[in-house]
Structure 1
Amino acid sequence: MSEEMNMMENQEFNEGTRVQGRVEKIEDKAVVVTIDGAPFDGIVPISELSSLHVEKASDVVAVGDELDLVITKVEDENFVLSKRKVDAEQAWDSLTEKFESGEVIEAEVKDVVKGGLVVDLGVRGFVPASLVEDHFVETFDDYKGRTMTFKIVEMDKEKNRLILSHRAVLEAQKESRKDEVLDSINPGDVIDGTVQRIASFGAFVDLGGVDGLVHISQISHEHVEKVEDVVKEGQAVKVKVLSVDRDNERISLSIKDTLPGPWEGIEEKAPKGSVLTGEVKRLVSYGAFVEVFPGVEGLVHISQIAHKHIGTPHEVLQEGQTVDVKVLDVNKEEKRLSLSIKDLLEKENESAIEDYELPEESKGFSLSDVIGDKLKGFSDK
């Protein structure tokens, strides 16, 4: 007889003894196993197959599987055994090392429960909802069966407590990418980003691991009242880097500087002699500034406001008033637009004269006899 056989015959099978069993039969709520050298078979209750809840034993083991087990009770020529306790003992040793080193663990989500996720790492691991992602998630229904990465954030073997976090993995990755991005970008660079968050004073744009701020004044060439009127969360945008403060991890960005300026193509939009409609934005002593395109204002000199002499533009115009203007001159380089209101008034008056018809009772009289006063009024101007 071999030495191994002697050891098996001399082996004692008591409570707490570690053994190896072979699955012989699978029942609804238990598994029957044979144990080498043991005088009789053993039973593994379904509750002792896994650290997680098991509906059917066949979901966990199959006939012929070799299992590491521990005897938990000896009764009536039968053993009661546990696979769960062996798995847990081995798992705690490994998990302690991973916890101390900060190692990232990969595991499948076994279940979604109220308040978070459950994973099986030899012991039951729980991921609170707040530690699943680095952003709000409304429902975790589609997380079951998903393989994810985790870090252990809390463990207590005595209380069988194991808390995991996927969010910690994401934040560590983001921190690593942040350093790379900060080292790779410079003022003047034009790069792609995604609007991450909107505030009253601007929009935070994700540059691929680090956020930069587009101040409300740098969103558009036009005046912006509300940031959300121009950009939306999740929107892809092109931005220009204005400044990089690597020590404080602050990046200033501009969307406006990547867009065509309001004066771009002004010669085509407002050629000399064209008539435009605009809004009186400001009145000054020497004239009125009229916005004819968003971000483009032209000056109507006081001498071009009316045919009659006026002492101040306030006598004729008011801010917010809509007026028609004629383009007298355009200078893209100097961003200067000279306009006239008077020239259009003159045309209207001339047109009124040309369209004037004599009344029936005035037949036989000359045009000068009928509208002489009106012509005199024009010549005085």
Structure 2
Amino acid sequence: MYLSNEIEAERAAAWADIKESQRAGNVLTAKAIGIEYFELGELKQECLKLNYNGIYGYLPTSFIDTYEFRGIQNFVGKTFEFVVSYVSFDDQIFAANRILALEKSARRFWKNGKPGDIYPAFVRGVDRYHVYLLVSGVPTRMHRDEFSYVFSDDLREEIFIGETIDVKVLEINKPNPDLEIEGEEPSAEEKRAIEGNISVSKKALEIDPMSFINEYKEKSTYLGTITKIHVDHGIFISLEPRGITVRSGFPPGSNGARLQVGDEVNFKIQDINVKERRIKGLIITPNQNYKNKSNRSYQYGR
């Protein structure tokens, strides 16, 4: 009986929040628990089904974002902000609008945000070189150079639509709607100036492994783990204990056939260039040592 009363009180509080959101435009958040089709008058479209403290809501695809998505399967299990646009007490459901919530969040950001602030950023798109983010409702594009100190050839292998990552704001250029433009249509740069733009970095929140470069010595050997093998860029190795990434070529004629991601190798450092943030050396695998009676290592450093 106590549990039933507790649930009833939670639902009553949830309904109060939902009604207030519809009346005053308050922003709420809820987890997407599935995908269903929802009908409201002539509107029938695929929606994210939300669970707001026991009350079900529907977030239509067209009201998730102004960004065009190929699908919303990746959004299931993620949390979304929204403003309630419709309530049916008979059916005990509500309809949600995330675009309105993003607009309200963006207005707060332009008013209060400043460089150096840290925000959770929603991943709305990814290509090989960029992550397309929403930071408190403000859209931005982050290059892979700002994603991590660890090189990534293709960001689509590292991060996925619907994820949330923490980023640091590097620069803010507030909207300038009064900007005078030449011609009928603003250029891409003029549009960015009119709407405002920001730059952010995920890497800025990480510790630079190269700051520990003085812990490594030339002509010395260290344990490393292969993190990536790329046909064009070579073999990437994370050195113990600091995770400094070194890149090497393939041994002649092998194309890395004997090596796999996750293999531990011994890496002998030949040269450390602090200014260029580069380490060159020899990579020796246990199998190569065992099979090569002359104990001759392959040189991977380019």
TM-score norm. by structure 2 comes to 0.44
